[in-house]
Structure formats: structure tokens, C-alpha cells
Amino acid sequence: MKNKLFPEMQPLAQGWLEVGDGHEIHWQTSGNPEGMPVVWLHGGPGSSASSLHRRFLDPTRFWIIQYDQRGCGRSRPSGSVHRNETVDLIADIERLRQFLGVSRWSVVGGSWGGALALLYAFAHADRVVRMLLRSPFLCTQSEIENFMEHPPKECRDLWMNLKTLVPPSSRQTILEYGYQVFCQDQDTQEQARLAHAWVSYEAAMNVYPATAPVLGMVDGMALISRYRVQSHYLKHRCFVNEDLLAQATVLKEIPLTLVHGELDALCPYTNSLSIQRVAPQAKLVLVKGGGHDLTDPGILTSTFEELERWH
């Protein structure tokens, strides 16, 4: 992996942007300020921008823009779900574009970031030069239920570790209980216990069909913030009230690349097929035997190679 990507780079500039409702989103730019602007939308919901993401883009050719969504990463206040819905996140992307003085930019999004990229393009197609979606999420109830309740057998032990934290007397699903614990209760001990079990299970689903990773020490408060945001979004079906692709006709005008793993356990390969049906010009790269994770060797190579084709 190290040989395939561009060398590690530090941000040239970073800061916080007030976006209203008491939120400030943390942003960072790297690469060439005179180059082609590209915004990278991180996944989750609840994750954050990563130094790995910018290594997929040639720093001599691209101005690389990253940020943490409301309540995520270094954005403030951490873990806040107040006025934190998908429509707010789309507005924040546009605020960031205006703040940075970008007229048009290319958009990269993976997983939940892929859903945000689609929704942003629907709202602001005239601002999008091109898009690459890696393993896009479509915010369907079936995707959420499969993640929370129907893991492949290789991930079932870690799912059971999570499931056993739900009191049988409550008769709640994992997601219902998680939403209660993270968003309604104040028991930080139970929040930390649930968050550690959740992240272990999610990590296994993320790398499937590879072997689940052994996670090192993780900041408990950061995990609580992450899963407060995630449970808030998943409980409300990511605040998408209809078929996400219902308004996808604008995609036909945007050069679009899709990279998707054949064995993705979180966002099925059929998601990209559905996108290609409404945007037949899209180039679809199927990674045989690939999973969901960006560092899956096939996913990493395909994503890197497709971004190298951007000029």
C-alpha cells in the first residue's frame, strides 16, 4: 500500500468554519492551491477526515480539501446531534466551497460519503466537475438492517458480543438500544462499553471477507461521539425519506466513476449497479473478491488508478 499511494503530506492550511446552529466544522487543505480542487467526503456517519485519503491524490496536480462533518472528528461540539441532519450536511459542503473561494470542484466520497456526494450533486450539479464514489451507501432500510442485524457468519461472534449488551427485557434492536444509550441516556460507562463493542463489530464488517482486525486502544470519548452521530443517523434512515436515486437524472451530466467490491458486507455491489442504471455514462469498476474497506488491496488500487486518470 505504501508504494502505491503518494507520500504522506501535512495540511497546508486548516481551521474551523462556523456553519450555524452552534456548529463549527474543521477543514484542512493540502496539495497544490493552484491545482484542481477536489473535496473528499468521509464516511460513517460519525467518522472523520483521514490523512490516508489525501494520499490518493497527486499533490502537484490537486488542491485537496477535507473536512469533518457536524459532530465528527475535530468539528465542534464533538458528538453533537443538535441540528445535525443530512440537509444540514449538504448545506455545509456548499458553505465550505464558498468559504474557500472555489467555483467548481470534483467530489470523492466513500460509503456514507458516497451518499452525501450524490445528494450534494443533486442539489448543486452546476458546482460538480466530476465524481468518484467508492462503495456508495444508498441509505436504504435493508442496508441498515443488514448491518445491524444480519452479519455474515464470519462476523457473527462480534455481532453477538454487541447484541448481548442489549437487555433482553427491553425487546429493542441493537440500533434502538444504541440510539437510546448514545442519544437519550447519560450513562457514560454504558456508552463506552457499547461503543467499544460496536467499533469492533463495525471494523469486522468493514474488512470482510478479510479477517477482523485486532483493535488497539481507542479514545473512549471519541468513540462515544462517533456512535452517537451514527446511531442518530441510522435510526432516522439518514433523514432520506424516499429512494435516494429518485432525483438522479442530473447525474447523467456529470462524469462519474464507481468503484465497488464484489463482497462488500456493508454497502452491496448492487448499489453501484443501481446508480449506473440512472447514470448510464458512469464507469463501474467491480473489484472481484473485494470488500468494503478503502485499504482492501483491490479497492485501494482501483480507487488510486481511477483518480490518477483525472486531468
How confident is the model over 167-183, as pLDDT tens digits? 999 899 999 999 999 99
Mark whether 257 and 130 lie in a shared domain. yes
Residue 49 lies inside a defined structural domain of this protein:
yes
Residue 267 lies inside a defined structural domain of this protein:
yes
Q: Which neighbouring-strand residues pair with 1?
A: none
Name the burial class of residue 119, with classes exposed (0-12), middle (13-18) and buried (19+) by CB atoms within 10 angstroms of its CB.
buried
Query: Which of 2-6, 128-132, 138-142, 258-262 is least confident?
Result: 2-6
Mark whether 232 and 171 lie in a shared domain. yes
Q: Looking at 292, 293, 296, 302, which residue is catalytic?
A: 292
Residue 6 lies inside a defined structural domain of this protein:
no
Residue 301 lies inside a defined structural domain of this protein:
yes
Range of the domain at 150: 142-238
CB 4 within 8 A of CB 36: no
Mark whether 178 and 268 lie in a shared domain. no
pLDDT of 136 higher than 80: yes
Q: Looking at 48, 106, 111, 135, which residue is catalytic?
A: 111
CB 136 within 8 A of CB 271: yes
pLDDT at 248: 87
Mark whether 66 and 96 lie in a shared domain. yes
Reported as a single tens digit per residue, the pLDDT across 53-87 is 999 999 999 999 999 999 999 999 999 999 999 99
Query: Which of 2-11, 51-60, 68-77, 117-126 is least confident?
Result: 2-11
Reported as a single tens digit per residue, the pLDDT across 186-195 is 999 999 999 9
Last residue of a domain, one of 238, 255, 289: 238
Last residue of a domain, one of 238, 255, 271: 238
- Which percentage of the chain shows pLDDT scores above 90? 93
Mark whether 203 and 263 lie in a shared domain. no
- Is residue 196 annotated as a catalytic residue, yes or no? no
φ/ψ region of 238 (left if φ > 0, alpha if ψ in -120 to 50, else beta) reads left
Name the burial class of residue 183, with classes exposed (0-12), middle (13-18) and buried (19+) by CB atoms within 10 angstroms of its CB.
middle
Q: Where are the alpha helices (DSSP H) in the chain?
A: 51-54, 86-100, 112-123, 141-149, 156-163, 174-179, 188-207, 220-235, 270-278, 297-308
Vertex 25, ends 84 and 21: CA angle to 5°?
45
- Is residue 111 annotated as a catalytic residue, yes or no? yes
pLDDT at 256: 98
- Is residue 292 annotated as a catalytic residue, yes or no? yes
Mark whether 133 and 186 lie in a shared domain. no
Reported as a single tens digit per residue, the pLDDT across 200-225 is 999 999 999 999 887 776 778 899 99
Mark whether 247 and 228 lie in a shared domain. no
Reported as a single tens digit per residue, the pLDDT across 242-268 is 899 988 888 999 999 999 999 999 999
Q: What is the mean pLDDT of the chain?
A: 96
pLDDT at 2: 45
Last residue of a domain, one of 238, 257, 281: 238
Residue 184 lies inside a defined structural domain of this protein:
yes
Give the model's confidence band at 3: pLDDT under 50 very low, under 70 low, under 90 confident, else very high. Answer: low
Q: Looking at 264, 274, 293, 302, which residue is catalytic?
A: 264
